[in-house]
Amino acid sequence: MFKFIKTGVFAVILVSTAIIAKAQKTINQGIITYSMEYILTPDQQSNLDVSNLPKESKIQFNGNISKIGMDFGPALLEIYKDGTSNTGLVLINIPIAQKKFAGKMSKEYLEKQAGGLKYNNFKPTGEKEKIGGYNAEKFTYQDDKGNKYDVWTTKDIILPSGAVPAELSSIKGTPVKYVIFQDGLKTLLTIKSVEDQKVGPFSMEVPAGYSVKTMEDLDNMRNGIE
């Protein structure tokens, strides 16, 4: 009898593990689509036309490297980020002027662009809901200035470091709804879909034909384009 119970319990554990393993999907390359909502300060609301800001973002990723492409009309902008080293590469192509520029983003530069904040004290709240079709749980955390935030994560999918924000890499699960700071703008990203498909591979090396500039020079150039 005891042997039967032990065997039965063991069988249940194996079946349960198999179900969990099947439900949890690992995606090493593909495309993530996010909706974007801007949380602006009163000063930003007065000086920015929100209608001109993108409402959606598509991020391609392959392993530890992600890519975002943006078309500004006269110029094409590509941003690559290495999620393992938290470094980046910017490529600007201006076909009408037959000019190509590149700049390497250091870890320090990217951290400064993100507000120079450090995050800690990640805690699960037990609150759950479906986001982008995934079962998600809400966590709270804070930065080193005492500001508090929420992030929703899922264990339904496992993504590589290139698809996960560096500041949230220590949290359990894949972030599906979270806040980022970019160029001084606080933006809420909510996952809409993750497509498992072949993209890349991507490289952090400057392609042939690009003139290397400092990030300060490229920031000034990009501001002029935008």
Q: What is the pLDDT of residue 167?
A: 82
Give 8 or 172, the one with higher predicted confidence.
Answer: 172
List the domain boundaries for the chain: 29-225
> Which CATH topology does 29-225 take?
outer membrane lipoprotein receptor (LolB), chain A (2.50.20)
**Are 80 and 66 spatial neighbours (Cβ–Cβ below 8 Å)?**
yes
Let me know if 3 is exposed, middle or buried by CB neighbors in 10 A (0-12, 13-18, 19+). exposed
Residue 154 has pLDDT above 90, yes or no: yes
Q: What is the pLDDT of residue 91?
A: 94
Burial 86-107 (b: 16+ CB within 10 A, else e): bbbbbbbbbeeeeebbbbbbee
Share of the chain above pLDDT 70, in %: 87
Average pLDDT, the chain: 84
Residue 47 has pLDDT above 90, yes or no: no
pTM to 2 decimals?
0.77
Residue 34 has pLDDT above 90, yes or no: yes
Instruction: Write the pLDDT tens digit of every residue in 48-100.
Output: 887 777 888 899 999 999 999 887 778 888 999 998 898 999 999 999 899 99
Q: What is the pLDDT of residue 193?
A: 94
Q: What is the pLDDT of residue 23?
A: 56
